Amino acid sequence: MFGLDKKDTSLLALVAILTLAAPFILNPFPTNSGLAQFNAGYPDLMQRFVIFGIFAIGFNILFGLTGYLSFGHAAFLGIGSYSAVWMFKLLSMNIIPAIILSVLISGIFAVVIGYISLRRTGIYFSILTLAFAQMSFALAYSVLTPLTNGETGLQLTLEDPRVLGQSATADGSIPVTNLFGAEMRSSFDMVVGPWSFTFSVGYYVCAIAMLLAFYLAIRIFRSPFGMMLRAIKSNQTRMNYTGLNPKPYTLAAFVISGMYAGLAGGLLASMDPLAGAERMQWTASGEVVLMTILGGAGTLIGPVLGAGMIKYFENIFSKINDNVLHGWFSFMPDGLEDLVVTIIHPFVGKGWHLTLGIIFMLVVIFLPGGLVEGGQRIAKAFRGKKADDNKSASTEPAE
Amino acid sequence: MDAFLLQTLNGLDKGSAYALIALGLTLIFGTLGVVNFAHGALFMIGAFCSVTLQRILNLSYETVDPSKTDFLGNPLKVKTPYVESWFGPETGGAIIEWSVPLAIIFAIPVMLAIGFSMERGLIKHFYKRPHADQILVTFGLAIVLQEIIKYYYGANPIQTPAPEALSGVAQLAEGIVYPVWRIVYFFFAIAIIGAVFAFLQFTTFGMVVRAGMADRETVGLLGIDIDKRFTLMFGLAASVAGLAGVMYGPINAPNYHMGMDFLVLSFVVVVVGGMGSLPGAVLAGFLLGILESFASMKEVITLIPGINQIIIYLVAIVILLTRPRGLMGRKGVME
């Protein structure tokens, strides 16, 4: 189906079902129960899941396939956000032109930055992309203030022209982003017994964008072009000797992943129309690297998993405080309860970064293939030795 | 002319921090071949060594002074640091005041220990893995170290003042005043850099290390346990970063993310200097420091707005594209 083989079709179908049913799946606990804080099914967070999923899928096309580790991808995310907000300011509040512009502009930037950075490989490439991203960040923060509104961030105002829309709504407030009239902010609550599920327009717009992005990524992975990118990762010298020039392929991959980042930035701005320079800082680039590696670089589903996991941690883990912990361990004797809470305390709440750092290190050390590899290993252990025999029969190409 | 001199001083001062961190990074890269993204975290831990020492020295007990009363009319509680009660108020007070320079002595063993355990416990397993993996695992380590510091010391910057005698400003020439501590920092950096170079150049140990940097296998074949020496070099590099952090405290109050702020810049410095070249790292450190401070002169900013923010990255991009090995990189190292 859609030009995919059976395995990929089922993967795509699985992802589609999971994303479309996410408001149910992520809200497994009744609203008033003690575990309700683990519910991730509110629109704001679900939007983040899929938007950063897009960002990570795009990053994976570059890093997972070609092996070029870019430490400056957040620049494209920021550029995308700025372009989208400008479109909201100048043209209309419809998100379609905004997203088209953000993808285009970040694509143009990616061509320029990629063309220069890709002249070098390895760590030099990482440093070059890092330098470009830091330059964009510094400029957006200082000199380009007329374009980016510096420290405050670019926001919508009532004075914006909005040629095709209106500057202000009838009651004098700033209009909201919409897709041909369907407002991103509007949502529908469904109450089933103690559960409550929220379906928001914004989330479904993002989810469909992600499914399209994911589909495109599968097609790229399975295409001859994707094959070329893998060839670059495994042995660039050999590719050169075969008479192929890797440059156009890497540049294309870089631009595609830059445009994915631009799309993610545009969507971020569409959900919440403001853009700040901190979105471009190198730590933000580091975050997408974390997501991709955590999930599994070079795999299709990995980056989405990683993005979901990090965003879940960021929003849910950080909410666990001492009171909650005491609630969980109240069945223990008092002394023991306090001890357990004291031990866990540094890793949750404000300390969720620590947990993330530790998990990330463990993944890099023991599971270079990320969560996906972990899943495969577990699956293999269940299937027994049979799968193992097949693996050893296939030979690795000689270096 | 005055402005020119002042900017040169500023540049040397900024450059000395860059040079010290880049020196440590290059030591690690040149010896172990590891790209250490946790180096900024080591710098930060160094700065927090002086915070810790300051806190230890300020441990005090309370006594009640019945002759005085506080504003509520209760007898006044007087806090006396233990150091003051042991050495008398004068010596004790001086010790507390000089806590930053004293922290140098405190930081060396701490940083050596951290360096050794890092190399033996983690980095050792990453020699054979690709550079990307090394970057990623040390990046993770940097996050972990940073969060641990944040957990124990909080997110706010903590002041570590310089001793009275070394704070304030000095009159260098007619019309040129400059903070004393920054001058101290510059000479301190020069001393450390000189010591590291002398150690590598004039001791047998240093000779073996240099030989190992040039050709690790041959040195191994000669029956020398090069790994052990390289571990020591990692400890040394960690101490250099740590000392740079200790002395940086009075210039900028230590906070938990100061390492990350410096990391990117110091990597740029290393790459500009040439991966694996120690003189290159030092040269590039000072060069970029001076360039940066000249770019932030008013005349330059009005000419090219925003140049002070991006000059370092701009220079790095130009150098990387025109001189693939950096300023002083050796042939065959990471090309």
Enumerate the domain spans of chain B: 2-57+76-322
* Burial class of residue B155 (count of CB atoms within 10 Å of its CB; 0-12, 13-18, 19+): exposed
When CB atoms are compared, the residue of B139, B309, B313 closest to A286 is B139
| Chain A partners within 8 Å of B146 (Cβ) | 353, 357
Chain B: closest CA distance from residue A362 (Å): 9
> What CA–CA distance (Å, rounded) separates A372 from A191?
35
> What CA–CA distance (Å, rounded) separates A301 from A342?
36
Q: Do B140 and A368 lie within an 8 Å CB cutoff? A: no
Q: Do A144 and B306 lie within an 8 Å CB cutoff? A: yes
Identify the weakest region by mean pLDDT among A127-136, A217-226, B319-328.
B319-328
Contacts of A142 (CB under 8 A, 6+ apart): A150, B306, B309
What is residue A307's predicted lDDT score, i.e. its pLDDT?
92
> ∠ at Cα A86 (A82, A89), nearest 5°?
140
* pTM of the predicted protein model: 0.86
Own/partner contacts of A319-327, CB < 8 Å, gap of 24 or more, are: A319/A37, A319/A349, A320/A37, A320/A348, A320/A349, A321/A348, A321/A349, A322/A349, A324/A37, A327/A34
B69's tokens? 């009363």
Q: What value does the mean pLDDT of chain A take?
A: 86
> What CA–CA distance (Å, rounded) separates B8 from B291?
9
Phi, psi of B251, rounded to the nearest 5 degrees: -75, -45
What is residue B267's predicted lDDT score, i.e. its pLDDT?
85
> What CA–CA distance (Å, rounded) separates B60 from B133?
47
Chain B: closest CA distance from residue A359 (Å): 9
Q: Is the pLDDT of residue A27 over 70?
A: yes
Q: Which of the listed CATH numbers 1.20.120, 1.10.3470, 1.10.8, 2.60.40 matches domain A6-280?
A: 1.10.3470
Chain B: closest CA distance from residue A292 (Å): 11
Q: Which helix H or strand E contains B84, and what residues bound it?
A: helix B82-97
When CB atoms are compared, the residue of B147, B275, B313 closest to A353 is B147
Residues B22/B284, Cβ–Cβ less than 8 Å:
yes
- The answer, for A344 touching chain B at a CB cutoff of 8 Å, is no
Q: DSSP of A227-246, one letter per residue?
A: HHHHHHHH-HHHHHHTT--H
In chain A, the percentage of residues whose pLDDT exceeds 70 is 96
User: Which chain B residue lies closest to A67 (C-alpha atoms)?
Assistant: B132
Tell me the average pLDDT across A354-371.
87
Q: Do A364 and B143 lie within an 8 Å CB cutoff? A: no
When CB atoms are compared, the residue of A124, A283, A361 closest to B260 is A283
Can you give the length of chain B in residues? 335
Residues A67/A257, Cβ–Cβ less than 8 Å:
no
| Chain A partners within 8 Å of B147 (Cβ) | 351, 353-354, 357
User: Which chain B residue lies closest to A346 (C-alpha atoms)?
Assistant: B151
Locate the DSSP E strands across A119-251: 154-155, 178-179, 182-183, 187-192, 195-200
**Residues of A numbered 239-268 whose beta carbons fall under 8 angstroms of chain B's beta carbons: which are they?**
none
Q: Is A277 strand, coil or helix?
A: helix
Domain ranges of chain A: 6-280
Q: Is B58 strand, coil or helix?
A: coil
- The answer, for A282 touching chain B at a CB cutoff of 8 Å, is yes
**Residues of B numbered 46-105 whose beta carbons fall under 8 angstroms of chain A's beta carbons: which are they?**
none
B214's tokens? 């040039």
> What CA–CA distance (Å, rounded) separates A295 from A316?
18
Query: How many CB pairs (< 8 A) connect A and B?
Result: 101
CA distances from B126 to A92, B89, B134, B145, B257 (A): 53, 51, 6, 19, 25
Residues A145/A282, Cβ–Cβ less than 8 Å:
no
Selection from A237, A238, A286, A220 nearest residue A64 by Cα = A220
Q: How far apart are the first and last CA of chain A?
A: 37
Which residue is associated with the tokens 């507390």?
A: B96
B319's tokens? 């150098």
Tell me the average pLDDT across A131-155.
85
- The answer, for A190 touching chain B at a CB cutoff of 8 Å, is no
Q: What is the pLDDT along chain B (335 residues), one digit of tens a residue?
A: 677 888 888 889 889 989 999 999 988 888 888 888 899 999 999 999 999 998 888 888 877 777 777 777 777 777 778 887 788 777 888 888 888 888 899 999 999 999 999 999 888 888 888 887 888 899 899 989 998 998 889 888 888 888 887 877 877 777 778 888 888 999 999 999 999 999 999 999 999 988 888 888 888 899 888 888 888 999 999 999 999 999 998 888 888 888 887 888 888 888 888 888 889 999 999 999 999 888 888 888 888 877 878 888 888 888 888 888 888 877 666 55
- The answer, for A141 touching chain B at a CB cutoff of 8 Å, is yes
Chain B: closest CA distance from residue A79 (Å): 17
User: Which chain B residue lies closest to A289 (C-alpha atoms)?
Assistant: B136
Q: How far apart are the first and last CA of chain B?
A: 42
Tell me the average pLDDT across A273-290.
86
Contacts of A250 (CB under 8 A, 6+ apart): A66, A68, A114, A118, A229, A232
Q: How many CB atoms lie within 10 A of CB B307?
A: 18
Q: Do B313 and A134 lie within an 8 Å CB cutoff? A: yes
Chain A: closest CA distance from residue B303 (Å): 13
Q: Do B151 and A116 lie within an 8 Å CB cutoff? A: no
> What CA–CA distance (Å, rounded) separates B96 from A57?
54
Q: Do A364 and B136 lie within an 8 Å CB cutoff? A: yes
Residues A78/A279, Cβ–Cβ less than 8 Å:
yes
> What CA–CA distance (Å, rounded) separates A4 from A226?
14
Tell me the average pLDDT across A99-118.
94
Identify the weakest region by mean pLDDT among A103-117, A165-179, A232-246.
A165-179
> ∠ at Cα B45 (B41, B48), nearest 5°?
140
Locate the DSSP E strands across chain B: 60-69, 75-81, 169-173, 176-179
> What CA–CA distance (Å, rounded) separates A352 from A361?
14
Identify the weakest region by mean pLDDT among A90-104, A197-211, A326-340, B66-80.
B66-80
Q: Which of the listed CATH numbers 2.60.120, 1.10.3470, 3.30.420, 2.30.30 matches domain B2-57+76-322?
A: 1.10.3470
> ∠ at Cα B54 (B50, B59), nearest 5°?
150
- The answer, for A226 touching chain B at a CB cutoff of 8 Å, is no
Three-class SS string for A310-350? HHHHHHHHHHCCHHHHHHHCCCCCHHHHHHHHHHHHHHCHH
- The answer, for B303 touching chain A at a CB cutoff of 8 Å, is no
Residues B229/B212, Cβ–Cβ less than 8 Å:
yes
What is residue A391's predicted lDDT score, i.e. its pLDDT?
46
Chain B: closest CA distance from residue A156 (Å): 25
User: Which chain A residue lies closest to B312 (C-alpha atoms)?
Assistant: A131
Pairing state of beta strands A178-179 and A182-183? Answer: antiparallel
Q: Do A357 and B35 lie within an 8 Å CB cutoff? A: no
One-letter amino acid for residue A260 of the chain: Y
> What CA–CA distance (Å, rounded) separates B123 from A104?
42
| Chain B partners within 8 Å of A356 (Cβ) | 143
* Burial class of residue A385 (count of CB atoms within 10 Å of its CB; 0-12, 13-18, 19+): exposed
- The answer, for B136 touching chain A at a CB cutoff of 8 Å, is yes
Q: Is A202 strand, coil or helix?
A: helix
One-letter amino acid for residue B66 of the chain: P
Which residue is associated with the tokens 């296939």?
A: A394
Which residue is associated with the tokens 């010290």?
A: B20
Q: How many CB atoms lie within 10 A of CB B61?
A: 10
Q: Between the CA atoms of A30, A31, A34 and A37, what dihedral angle is there, to the nearest 10 degrees?
A: 110
A102's tokens? 């953000």
Chain A: closest CA distance from residue B88 (Å): 39
What is residue A396's predicted lDDT score, i.e. its pLDDT?
47
| Chain A partners within 8 Å of B135 (Cβ) | 69, 123, 126
What is residue A385's predicted lDDT score, i.e. its pLDDT?
59
- The answer, for B310 touching chain A at a CB cutoff of 8 Å, is yes
A217's tokens? 């990524």
Q: What angle, 0 to 180 degrees and rounded to 10, lies between the N-to-C axes of helices B204-214 and B2-32?
A: 80
Q: Is A72 strand, coil or helix?
A: coil
User: Which chain B residue lies closest to A350 (C-alpha atoms)?
Assistant: B151
In chain A, the percentage of residues whose pLDDT exceeds 90 is 31
Q: DSSP of B26-42, one letter per residue?
A: HHHHHHH----TTHHHH
- The answer, for B125 touching chain A at a CB cutoff of 8 Å, is yes
B287's tokens? 């060069």
CA distances from B117 to B96, B123, B227, B263 (A): 30, 9, 14, 21
Q: Do B320 and A126 lie within an 8 Å CB cutoff? A: no
Q: Is B176 strand, coil or helix?
A: strand
Which ipTM was obtained for this model? 0.83
What is residue B112's predicted lDDT score, i.e. its pLDDT?
94
Q: Do B334 and A123 lie within an 8 Å CB cutoff? A: yes
